[in-house]
Structure 1
Amino acid sequence: MFSRRLPGKTPPARMRRTEGSVMESLAERKKMLRRRMRGVRAGIFSCPEEHARLSLMIQRRAMAEPAWARSGSILLYAAFRDEADTSFLLEQAWLQGKTVALPRCRPAPAEGEMDFFVCRGWADLALSALGIPEPSPGLPLWRASGDPALMLVPGLAFDRRGGRLGYGGGFYDRWLDQGGTAGAGTPLTLGLAFSSQMVDEVPRGTWDRCVRGICTELETIWI
């Protein structure tokens, strides 16, 4: 004989312990990979010339993608600390007349969520409390116009199936899970990373969102 779980019934304690163990294991694997990848990026950043050279290669490769050319809107981010630099992409997008939007985190009580705001140049950016360049208050919220949009996504690690390991806040996962801007659809997502940030497998939970492609200094991978 075996027991069958009925709708609305609480799972047995043993099942709850198993689910909890799986969650703890996933969290620990992510924590370990984040620690390792932070070290990888710090190593690249320790040589400013190499960091700048690889960053420019990544940016030029991203711009060479057809998705860049056909996208009227580019959702980008201002690189922070040892992330691959994005300043060339930002400047080129502005020069090409594209609609450029950058993220800003929502204040309490909506921690963990963000919105993208249209920025027309560096003057529209200000430093957050953490020192991260973000859109200044009062800028228009980005909304899709029906034209293709490309979102360039940061991360600590990526794999060839589109798996992405972020910083643990879940900002991009939530934004993408909600379909970006409500009713507007979701932009094509392309992760930006150094090739040394590519791993065999990124540990993922059911709530983690994949990217459609990853661009490194060596190649662009579309899934």
Structure 2
Amino acid sequence: MYNAEQSSLSRSEIRKNIRNARRNLSNLEQEQAAKKININFFQHKKLPNNARIGLYLSNDGELDTSILIQSLNKKRHQVFLPVIHPFNGTTLLFQRYENNSPMTQNRYAILEPQLNCSHICPLYELDYLLMPLVAFDKEGNRLGMGGGYYDKTLARYYREQMKKPELIGLAHDCQQVEKLPIQAWDVPLQQIITPSKFYQW
């Protein structure tokens, strides 16, 4: 675990260090992590029938979600992936994803479903939202990529204290730091799952 507090690193420095750490994971380590996160998720979460789950496709060394997505599809749950909002460009929509869904690259060269408004699920109708992150600490504070997409998308969720979806962060074990420098708008996650652990605050 990297002690960010002792070394007085800024958010951008932590982001750079942790992104490098996860990029340096070998293909075998990534494959093992993907298998373990799949097991760990289902061990700790008893999903209702036909659950609606917001997920993401891994990028930049993020925890590989492909096995988890396959498992959810086999169990007949519905998977929704983030799509950058076509009008405001600062928030996310969540669109149904299946094996044959047409995909396109967004501005960050990340694959997302080709926009189809009839396949969009409102945030409050998702049962779970599994979120990527760059780093997290012992108190559940989350550091993202810096674009603020999830923060802006979830602003109303936090403001109105919505009960759905259940928010869960996904990360490699190497992405944990001792203490993150937080901003006034940061809201800690109540749950984070890594390949080896389940954190709940």
TM-score, normalising length: structure 2: 0.84
The percent identity for this pair of structures is 25
Q: State the superposition RMSD in angstroms.
A: 2.4
Kept after mapping to 1: 8 A contact 2:105/2:112: yes
The amino acid across from 1:34 in the alignment is R
Instruction: State how far apart, in whole Å, the 1-side matches of 2:70 and 2:128 are.
Output: 16
Q: Is the 8 A contact 1:155 1:166 kept in 2?
A: yes
Return the structure number with greater helix share. Answer: 1
Unaligned runs of 5+ in 2: 1-8
Larger Rg: 1
What SS is found at the alignment partner of 1:178?
helix
SS of aligned partner of 2:53: strand
Quick one: which of 21, 38, 41 aligns to 1:62?
A: 41
Q: Determine the C-alpha separation between the residues in 2 that align with 1:113 and 1:143.
A: 12
Mapped contact 2:23–2:60 kept (Cα < 8 A): no
Change (3 A) 1:136 1:198: same
| Higher RCO structure, 1 or 2 (CA under 8 Å, sep 6+) | 2
CA pair 183-219 structure 1, distance change in 2 beyond 3 A: closer
CA-to-partner distance for each residue in 1:16-63, whole Å, 9 max, x for gaps?
xxxxxxxxxxxx71111101111211221xx21112112221222112
Letter in 2 for 1:168: G
**Do structure 1's residue 93 and structure 2's residue 63 form an aligned pair?**
no
Following superposition, the deviation at residue 64 of structure 1 comes to: 1.9
Which residue number corresponds to residue 105 of structure 1?
A: 84
Distance in 2 (alpha carbons) for counterparts of 1:145 and 1:204: 26
Letter in 2 for 1:195: D
Runs of 4+ in structure 1 over 4 Å off? 182-185
Q: Which runs of 5+ in 1 are unaligned?
A: 1-27
| Deviates further, 122-131 or 168-177 | 122-131
* Matched residue, 1:48: 27
Cα distance per residue 1:160-211 (max 9 Å; x no partner)? 221000000111111111228x997531111111111111112211212322
**Which one-letter code corresponds to 1:176 in the other structure?**
L
Relative to 1, partners in 2 of residues 1:124 and 1:64: Cα closer, same or farther, differing over 3 Å?
farther
> Are 1:222 and 2:200 matched, yes or no?
yes
| Residue number in structure 2 paired with 1:199 | 177
- In the alignment, what sits opposite 1:79? 58
The match for 1:114 is 92
In the superposition, the TM-score normalised over structure 1's length comes to 0.76
CA distance in 1, matches of 2:34, 2:144: 19
